Chain A
Amino acid sequence: MVIQFFTYILQGTSVTLAVTLVALPLGLILGLAFALLYNYGGLWVSRLAAVYSLAMRGVPPVALLFVLYFLLSGRLVNLSPFWAGSISLGIISSAYQMEILRGALQAVGESQMIAARAIGMSRFQAIRYIILPQAIRLAIPPWSNEASIVLKDSSLVYALGVPEILRRAQQLSATTQQPFLAFGAAALIYFILVFLANRGLDLLAEKTKLPNAAA
């Protein structure tokens, strides 16, 4: 019975991963766009981006989830609970990823931009070939942290009835009256996922790391 029990919760992993693999890249694309707008978009665009960041970091994820699924979906667009949930999480994560990338872009510094412009690069080329490759390296460690958060926050889509790990644990806890076993199993799975994700990104950071001293 314990095996069966564990299997049922484990089956939620594919949902958790799917939600994460939609939300995280979506958040990255939006976050990068807003970070670039913030840093290079001029006064008003930059203010708008800041407002977006503030609003999306302020809104409770579940609230956005409900607005997107129950209020907007079916009227403007047709979204399944999975997509509504994943997109909501992606949008919220984009605000945090924007902050990470914004910081990284600023850390690279304006002088790299000037040097790039001085050899005839356009702003776009400078960002693409000079600023971003450096900013992304700087962003990997904090981004790894954000990836863990999104992985865990993906459980919120249960509010729309998407059967991910935590919802399954809740159900089995109710059935078996063994909450420690049920939530313990869920916690273990999350731990393994977060561990693997962080290790993977650590390796990536290690691989892309620039040498820092004369040999």
Chain B
Amino acid sequence: MREFPPILQAKNLTKTYGENVIFKNISLDVYKGETIVIIGPSGTGKSTLLRCLNLLTPVDSGQIFLEGEEITAPSVNQDQVRQKIGMVFQNFLLFNHLTALGNVMVGLTKVKKMPHNQAKEKALQELERVGLADRAHHYPAQLSGGQQQRVAIARALAMDPLVMLFDEPTSALDPELIGEVLGVMEQLAHEHMTMLVVTHEMGFAREVADRIIFMEKGRIVEEGTPEDLFERPQQARTREFLGRISELYGKREKG
């Protein structure tokens, strides 16, 4: 069922900040169309891993392959690689001086050099996809957090990425706004977008993920299907973490 090679493949990635080893020899395969959820305590290196995967931060050693091509090779044009890997941040990071439409268009016109009209049409489609066509001419400051994050998703989608990376996309949102963002992500999963999602939303992980990876202290402790991890965790650390997380988030999920 899985196509080879994986669409995104990390081999023995090691990352340090000075003395501080963030992760060591991490390997990871992401296959086309699958949704992987990464969970783990904060400070574990999840964000750093995502930033390394789309080359925003250089790794110390190891290789990353996108569609079988090594993107960590020195000759690679990193800007072109980043176009193909979408990224959604915890704090949205919309461009404050541009409208929702402008945020989605700017990558198309400036990076892809798409003609203005064509870019606008595509941008409107992407806003439609996240349910915000009617907010096209609003500036970020005029949008709610949930709306901003959906625009950020549309901005990434507009580049037609091969993979989407999400770094705690709902952590900065008020509880009542989380649903609309998770809804959009769920819809993307159904459309078979390849996604790598760091989140604490266990409901989303359970329902949507094809695979869950539990990371701690820069290591992948355990990985498997939602059933494997939630029902039959092999590692004590995983059980402990899941116990703590359901204490923190569990009530809301039921409500």
Asked if A and B form a direct contact in the complex, defined as CB atoms under 8 angstroms apart, the reply is: yes
- A residues at B contact (CB < 8 Å): 111-112, 114-122, 125, 129-130, 133-134, 137, 210-215
Does the CB pair A119–B139 fall under 8 Å? Answer: no
B107 touches A121 (CB 8 A): yes
Query: What 11 additional pairs, Cβ within 8 angstroms, besides A114-B56, A119-B82?
Result: A112-B93, A115-B89, A115-B95, A118-B86, A119-B86, A121-B110, A122-B79, A134-B97, A211-B139, A214-B142, A214-B144
Q: How many A-B residue pairs have CB under 8 A?
A: 75
Tell me if B142 and A119 are in contact (CB < 8 A). Answer: no
CB of B87 within 8 A of CB of A118, answer yes
| B window 162-202: CB within 8 A of A | none
Complex Cα–Cα for A215 and B141 (A): 10
CA of A119 to CA of B141 in the docked complex: distance in angstroms? 21
Judge whether B156 is part of the interface by a CB distance below 8 angstroms.
yes
- Least distance between A130 CB and chain B CB atoms (Å): 5
Q: Is the CB of B143 within 8 A of A120?
A: no
Taking a contact as CB atoms under 8 Å apart, the answer to whether B80 and A120 are in contact is yes
Measured between alpha carbons, how far is A114 from B93 in the docked complex, in Å? 9
Closest-CB distance, A99 to chain B (whole angstroms): 22
Chain B residues in 8 Å Cβ range of A118: 54, 56, 82, 86-87, 89, 156
Return A215 CB to nearest CB of chain B, in Å: 6
Q: A65 CA to B111 CA in the complex, in Å?
A: 45
Q: A129-B106, A210-B141, A214-B144 are contacts. A121–B93 as well, Cβ < 8 Å?
A: no
Smallest CB-CB A-B distances: 4 pairs:
A120-B83, A115-B93, A119-B107, A118-B87
Q: Could you list 6 A-B pairs, sorted by A, with CB under 8 Å?
A: A115-B94, A120-B83, A134-B97, A211-B142, A212-B141, A213-B141
- Chain B: residues with CB nearer than 8 A to chain A? 54, 56, 79-80, 82-84, 86-87, 89, 91, 93-97, 106-107, 110-111, 138-139, 141-144, 155-156, 159
A132's closest neighbor in chain B, by CB?
Answer: B97
Q: Are A129 and B110 in contact (CB under 8 A)?
A: yes
Residue contact B111 to A210, C-beta cutoff 8 Å: no
Q: A211 CB to closest chain B CB, in angstroms?
A: 5
Tell me the complex Cα distance, A212–B97, Å: 11
The residues of B that contact A114 with a CB separation of less than 8 Å are 56, 89, 93
Whether B83 pairs with A137 at a CB distance below 8 angstroms is no
Whether A210 lies near B97 (C-beta < 8 A) is yes
Distance in angstroms from B135 CB to nearest chain A CB is 10
A215-B83 in contact given A115-B95, A116-B95 (Cβ < 8 Å): no
Task: Name the distance in Å between B119's Cβ and chain A's nearest Cβ.
Answer: 13
Nearest-Cβ distance from residue B136 to partner chain A, whole angstroms: 14
Select from chain A the residue with minimum beta-carbon distance to B109: A129
Task: Collect the chain A residues with CB atoms within 8 Å of residue B89's CB.
Answer: 111, 114-115, 118
Chain B residues closer than 8 Å to A129, beta-carbon distance = 106, 110
Contact B96 A211 (CB under 8 A): no
Q: Give Cα distance in the complex from A109 to B82, angstroms.
A: 20
Task: Give Cα A75 to B82, complex, Å.
Answer: 52
| Complex Cα gap A125–B79 (Å) | 11
Contact, CB under 8 Å: B111 / A120: yes
Q: Determine the chain B residues whose CB is within 8 A of the CB of A115 once the complex forms.
A: 89, 93-95
Q: Is the CB of A111 within 8 A of B79?
A: no
CB distance from A212 to the nearest CB of B (A): 5
Of B89, B96, B155, the most chain A CB neighbours within 10 A belong to B96
A213 touches B142 (CB 8 A): yes
Inter-chain contacts of B110 with A (CB < 8 A): 121, 125, 129
